[in-house]
Structures are given as structure tokens and as C-alpha cells.
Structure 1
Amino acid sequence: MTPHTNVVEPTAATPAAAGYAHEHAPRLPFPERVPEFYRAMLRLETAAAKDIDPTLYHLIKIRASQINHCAFCVDMHSKDALAEGETVERIVQLSAWAESRHFYTERELAALALTESVTVLTDGFVPDAVYSRAAAHFDETELARVIGAIVVINAWNRIAVTTRMTPGHYTPRSA
């Protein structure tokens, strides 16, 4: 990184070396500045992931991250999903899931609709129809877990977007 700027100098391994725009650096090392908060977020993430279908969890995280324009999280969760066997096609179509319904189960579609409603609360809260549709596909405990997963990824998105975490460098643990 050049002194006093928020630009990472290109290397042979970065797209900027091939003529792409320069990569920005993060604004601040969030985990280092508030380690206890960061550890609490990690515990919250662990709790949110407990007993929820991993495939569904990845779809929720990717879709909320797309809506929130969180490039870091889109990168991370897409790579994690791919490493765990998700298809490229389903990840690519996720931004247009309502028009590509045939790639997803009814249960996944209900969770995606709920993810959008919870993520974009400024559109008039979570409509009864969206909630009822999700409740028809999940028992109360499962629905609570889905809501928890949506809440957690939205919190992570807000941290990553605000601190400008840089996408492109994440490597999945299972890869």
C-alpha cells in the first residue's frame, strides 16, 4: 500500500497488474481494534450456523451480501459455497433468483424472499405474505434459525462495507 492512501499497489497476482483498476485497502483493521466485539460476532456466527442446512446458509449469506453490495462477503461466501459443492450456475443466478426459480427448491425460494425482506427493511418491513411463505416451509425453530442467519450476515455486511474490506484474497478452509 502506498503511504497515506487507500490504494494497494498492483502485483503480478492482482488484476490491476493486467490493466484493471487499483485495489483499495481496508479502512481499518476492525478485529484488531475491537477484538472482544469481533470474537462475539464469531460466536454469533457459530450459533447462527448451528443446525441450519449449509447449502441454504450459503445462499442466504450470498444473497444478503449481494443486496448490501458487500463485495468482500460475496467473494468469501461464494468461494465457501463452491468449495462445499454448490454449483456455479446457482451462485450466478442468485442475483436474479425470482426469475430463475427453477434452480432452487421451494424451501430455498421462501428463505431467499425472507432474506430480501429482512435485509431491505426500508421497503416496508417484512410483508405477512413473505413471512407466511417461509413459515410454511420451516418449523418455528428452523424459521428462527433462518432469521438468525439473515441477521448475522447483515451485521457482517455492515462491518465489511463500512471498513472497506478488500475482496479477492479469501481462500476457503475446505479448499
Structure 2
Amino acid sequence: MSSTTRRVKLANLAPDFYKAMIELDKVSDAGLDPKLAHLVRIRASQINGCSYCTDMHSLDLLEFGAEQQQRIALLPVWREADKFYTEQEKAALHLTEAITLISVDHVPDDVYEIAAAAFDEKELAQLIALIITINMWTRVGVTGKMEPGHYKP
């Protein structure tokens, strides 16, 4: 299959589904710190190879200030650069990776317990909802071959 293969656009051809995704996205990060939510979105997007989502959420996080650039650049190696992330962010990133790569180890108890210790139950539920939602979006982006560089925050 060549890179010029036409891909369907869900927004145009499955508009009710796409609108439902947008509505779900609006509530997926309720109550979570916006910087943390963007870090989660970026990390899941990186893992899933969605350049469009990685670009979008990186630009959104940069809106919080230039110091975010280093945190974005170090995100793939956050364990080695952990001084740039709070304990809560590290717990969220660990859970993001486990849920995003769910077929590898499912969600190990130790990873879940670290997240449960870092968030109250409502926040944890919201974090899980956010991770599931961004994984849904990255599948749309990758399947549709959405290209980065068009998003404006």
C-alpha cells in the first residue's frame, strides 16, 4: 500500500461518531491539572506514533510557558529525567504507558497502586478516562494519517 492511499475521514463520513468523540473529549480531563493532562496526552501520542496528536498537545502545553519545552523534549525518557516531573505526573505517566501498552502487561498492580496513591479516587477515575480517550484519538489520527503542522492552539 502506497503512502498516497486515500484514507476516510471519520469527521466527514461518521459524523455522529466523531461528534460523540468530541463530547467525550470535553469531559475526559475534568478536575485534572491541565499541564498533567497535556503530558499524558503527549506521552500516549508518542507511544502510539501519532504525529498529529503529539504536535497538537505539545503546542497546547507550550501555551503554559517556555519552560514546558524541556519537559516535552524529555518526555520519552521521563524516568531518567524525573526531576523535571512531579510525583503525581510520574505516576500518571507510568499509568499512561501501562494503559496505552495494555497488551504487553495489562495494567500491573504496582503501577495502579502508585497512581492510586498519587490521586484521590475521583482524580484517578478521571485520569483513566483521559488515557482511554487520548488512545482513542491517536487511533483516529494514525489510521487517518493525519499530518502535523495544521493545528493552531
TM-score, L = length of structure 1: 0.82
Give 2:9's match in structure 1, choosing from 13, 29, 38: 29
Query: Match of 2:131?
Result: 150
Give 1:80's match in structure 2, choosing from 29, 47, 60: 60
Q: Does 1:137 align with 2:102?
A: no
Count the aligned residue pairs.
150
Question: Residues 112-160 of structure 1, C-alpha deviation per residue, up to 9 Å, x if partnerless?
Answer: 0000000001211111100000000101000000000000000000011
Counterpart amino acid of 1:125? H
Displaced runs of 4 or more, over 3 A: none
Q: Which runs of 5+ in 2 are unaligned?
A: none
Query: Match of 1:102?
Result: 83
Question: Residues 20-56 of structure 1, C-alpha deviation per residue, up to 9 Å, x if partnerless?
Answer: xxxxx97222201111111100110011022111011
Change (3 A) 1:105 1:82: same
Structure of higher RCO (CA pairs closer than 8 Å, 6+ residues apart): 2
**Structure 1 residue 108 displacement after superposition:** 0.3
Query: Match of 1:114?
Result: 95
TM-score, L = length of structure 2: 0.94
Question: Residues 1-23 of structure 1, C-alpha deviation per residue, up to 9 Å, x if partnerless?
Answer: xxxx82xxxxxxxxxxxxxxxxx
C-alpha distance in structure 2 between counterparts of 1:96 and 1:149, whole Å: 21
Which structure has the larger Rg?
A: 1
Q: 3-state SS of the aligned residue for 1:49? A: coil
Change (3 A) 1:40 1:96: same
Counterpart amino acid of 2:150? H
Alignment check: 8 A CA contact 1:26 1:165 kept: no
Identity %: 49
Q: Which is richer in helix? A: 2
**What is the RMSD computed on CA atoms of the aligned residues?**
1.4
Q: 3-state SS of the aligned residue for 2:39? A: helix
